[in-house]
Amino acid sequence: MAIRGAGLLRYRLSPGGCEVFLIHMGGPAWAKKDLAAWSIPKGVIGRQEGPLAAAIREFFEETGFRVGGGYEPLATIRQNSNKDLTVWAMEADCDPTQLKSNTFSIVWPPKSGQLGTFPEADRGAWFDVPTAFQKIAKGQRPVLERFALGHANPESPA
C-alpha cells in the first residue's frame, strides 16, 4: 500500500509573473546539490489526520510559517513507486530568510556511530515557474505542471 503524503505549494504574483516557494531539502545528502534538490513543503498524513490538515501541519513544521485559507486543490500524483502526494496551492507571500525548519537525526558520517541532527529544510526560495521546473525534485514535477496550467504560462518544462 502506498504511503500517503500531503503538501502546500505557496505562490505569489509579482510584476515579473508568478513565483512558487520551494524548500531545499536538508541533511548531508542534499547539502551540495541544487538541481532536483528542492521540494514542495510536504509530509506523511497521520492516522487520524485529513490530507489538508497534514499539508498545513507539514508546511509549518518545515518552514515555521503559518498559513490560513484560500487552499486550491491542485493534484494527487504518484511521487515515486510507494508514495502518493496530494497538494494544494495557496497564494501568500513569505520571507525565505525567516524559515525555521524542524530537524531529524541520522548517523553521520555513515557507520561512524555519531548521531547528527539536521534541518528537514535548510533554506527556502522563490522561483519563477520555468526555474522551479529545474530545481524541484523530479517526482514532484507533475504537481508543478498542473499548477502552471492554471497559474502561469511557463516555457516548456525541462
Look-up of cell digits 522561483: 127
Assess whether pLDDT exceeds 60 at residue 153.
Answer: no
100 DSSP assignment: -
Q: CA-to-CA distance for 23 and 53, rounded, in angstroms? A: 19
- Determine, yes or no, domain membership for 99: yes
pLDDT given for residue 17 in this prediction:
86
- Determine, yes or no, domain membership for 40: yes
Assess whether pLDDT exceeds 70 at residue 104.
Answer: yes
- Determine, yes or no, domain membership for 10: yes
Assess whether pLDDT exceeds 80 at residue 7.
Answer: yes
User: Between residues 6 and 1, which one has the greater pLDDT?
Assistant: 6
The count of domains in the chain is 1
Amino acid symbol at 67: V
pLDDT given for residue 57 in this prediction:
97
Residue 157 CA to its chain's centroid (Å): 18
pLDDT mean over 31-51: 96
pLDDT > 70 in the chain, percent? 96
Length of the chain: 158
Assess whether pLDDT exceeds 50 at residue 44.
Answer: yes
pLDDT given for residue 158 in this prediction:
41
- Determine, yes or no, domain membership for 156: no
- Determine, yes or no, domain membership for 157: no
- Determine, yes or no, domain membership for 98: yes
Chain segment 106-152, per-residue pLDDT in tens: 999 999 999 999 999 999 999 999 999 999 999 999 999 999 998 75
- Determine, yes or no, domain membership for 124: yes
Helical (H) or strand (E) element with 98:
none
pLDDT mean over 39-44: 97
- Determine, yes or no, domain membership for 135: yes
What CATH number has the domain bearing residue 146? 3.90.79.10
Q: Which domain holds residue 37?
A: 3-151
pLDDT given for residue 68 in this prediction:
87
